[in-house]
């Protein structure tokens, strides 16, 4: 038998198995904790645990104040003895572990207390401690379930992403790689060249204030991903008279000496401080966010992209370039153009690696997809189980 080649499906199965095991183990731990509480008396366990916590809290709050021979120490001891006696006297006769509380009271029933007396009181309470531990274990088990559910939910989402990736890989594997993708590439490349040339000219003509207004407008268009300028630079370009200059002019002026720069702007120092320190940002304002990627995304994505960039193209380019955007958008809906076929083929040619082609050819991708779906279904079933509140 040939050695099995490692694939993403191996990791999916292992990670999913671990997530389910952890969740199921946490649920079993909780059920066992509940069963031990029921075996020990149910509600009576909670009463005993509460009494134990009250008693230990009382001892802890007085251990420093009630030990010693001073007057204040004696007063604190009297307070402790009175409160502890009231606590024990108020306990139901049938309380589980009640004798432990009486023994603890006996341990501190003396005129002077030392730390060893408090230790003996704590030791006397140990028979009742088990009830508090039962509740603590149940709470820890509940928290373990919450944590395991969170991890399992993350794994479930990751399996969904891996499933989508495999489905897309199979779609690419079925693509017609002999399709005439140049028919789709040509209009996109022609547009990209046109918008790049137009934006270069726009930078040379438009004021920095106008360009920054364009960037500000892009905030409301998710597919027009211009980086926003730093707040100080934006305020300078908006409010200072120097904002009337183009970005190339501002970058050129930033290299001038202060004496020469005084002929162009009100404050040479302010221009250098705002512009010279942001040269990388200013140089990076280009047509990139208005360009269309190759290979293109699916038709709905390209439709949204062309719709959002068109108002910006209208601001920086001529009508011919705007028309190219409209043409590309029409291609996504023209049934005679077969956009989906060409787009899938372009994606396949561009994205499929030799290894992926091999895995598609020998059926591994299809097998992994089925495994991912099955594992996701099992994990979904595990997550659907109602958990304790």
Q: What are phi and psi of 206, to 5 degrees?
A: -80, 145
Read off the tokens for 9. 């499906």
Q: In the prediction, which pLDDT does 234 show? A: 96
The whole model's pTM is what? 0.56
Sign, Cα dihedral of 199, 200, 206, 212: positive
Q: Residues with Cβ < 8 Å from 308, sequence gap 6 or more?
A: 221, 222, 223, 224
pLDDT at 217 over 70: yes
Q: How many helices (H) and strands (E) does the chain have?
A: 17, 0
Query: What's the CA gap between 9 and 11, in Å, rounded?
Result: 5
Largest CA distance in the chain: 102
pLDDT in tens, 49-96: 878 887 877 777 776 776 666 677 677 767 777 777 777 777 777 777
| Confidence band for 4, pLDDT divided at 50, 70 and 90 | very low
pLDDT in tens, 336-347: 999 999 998 888
Q: What are phi and psi of 222, to 5 degrees?
A: -55, -30
| Confidence band for 387, pLDDT divided at 50, 70 and 90 | low
Domain residue spans in the chain? 8-154, 155-173+353-383, 182-347
302-326 burial, b at 16+ Cβ within 10 Å, e below that, comes to bbebbebbeebbebbbeeebbebbe
> Are the C-beta atoms of residues 254 and 272 closer than 8 Å to each other?
yes
Going by C-alpha positions, the residue among 213, 278, 288, 221 that lies closest to residue 244 is 213
Q: In the prediction, which pLDDT does 1 show? A: 30
Query: What's the CA gap between 310 and 290, in Å, rounded?
Result: 9
Q: State the Cα angle at 262 between 239 and 251, rounded to 5°.
A: 65
DSSP lists the bridge partners of residue 113 as 67
| Confidence band for 372, pLDDT divided at 50, 70 and 90 | very high
pLDDT in tens, 135-182: 888 889 999 999 999 999 999 999 999 999 898 888 888 878 788 999
| Number of other residues whose CB lies within 10 A of the CB of residue 140 | 14
Query: What's the CA gap between 117 and 109, in Å, rounded?
Result: 9
């Amino acid at each position: 038998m040939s050695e099995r080649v490692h694939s993403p499906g191996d990791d999916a199965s292992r990670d999913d198995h671990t997530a389910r095991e952890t969740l199921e183990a946490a649920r079993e731990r909780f059920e066992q904790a509940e069963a031990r509480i029921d075996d020990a008396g149910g509600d009576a366990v909670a009463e005993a645990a509460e009494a134990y916590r009250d008693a230990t809290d009382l001892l802890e709050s007085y251990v420093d104040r009630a030990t010693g021979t001073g007057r204040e120490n004696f007063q604190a001891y009297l307070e402790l003895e009175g409160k502890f006696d009231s606590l024990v006297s108020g306990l139901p006769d049938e309380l589980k572990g009640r004798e432990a509380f009486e023994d603890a009271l006996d341990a501190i029933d003396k005129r002077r207390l030392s730390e060893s007396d408090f230790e003996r009181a704590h030791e006397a309470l140990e028979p009742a401690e088990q009830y508090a531990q039962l509740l603590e274990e149940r709470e820890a088990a509940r928290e373990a379930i919450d944590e395991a559910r969170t991890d399992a939910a993350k794994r479930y989402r990751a399996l969904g992403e891996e499933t989508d990736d495999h489905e897309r890989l199979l779609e690419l594997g079925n693509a017609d790689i002999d399709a005439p993708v140049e028919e789709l590439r040509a209009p996109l490349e022609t547009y990209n060249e046109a918008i790049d040339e137009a934006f270069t000219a726009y930078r040379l003509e438009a004021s920095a204030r106008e360009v920054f207004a364009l960037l500000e407008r892009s905030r409301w268009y998710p597919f027009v991903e211009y980086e926003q300028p730093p707040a100080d630079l934006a305020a300078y370009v908006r409010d200072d008279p120097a904002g009337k200059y183009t970005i190339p002019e501002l970058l050129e002026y930033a290299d001038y000496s202060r004496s020469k720069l005084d002929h162009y702007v009100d404050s040479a120092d302010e221009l250098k401080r705002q512009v010279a320190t942001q040269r990388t940002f200013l140089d990076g304002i280009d047509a990139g966010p208005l360009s269309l990627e190759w290979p293109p995304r699916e038709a709905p994505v390209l439709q949204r992209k062309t719709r959002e960039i068109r108002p910006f193209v209208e601001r920086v380019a001529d009508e011919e370039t705007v028309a190219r955007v409209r043409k590309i958008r029409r291609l996504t809906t023209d049934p005679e153009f077969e956009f989906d076929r060409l787009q899938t083929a372009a994606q396949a040619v561009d994205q499929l690696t030799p290894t992926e082609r091999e895995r598609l050819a020998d059926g591994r991708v299809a097998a992994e997809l089925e495994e991912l779906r099955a594992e996701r279904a099992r994990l979904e079933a595990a997550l659907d189980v109602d958990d304790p509140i």
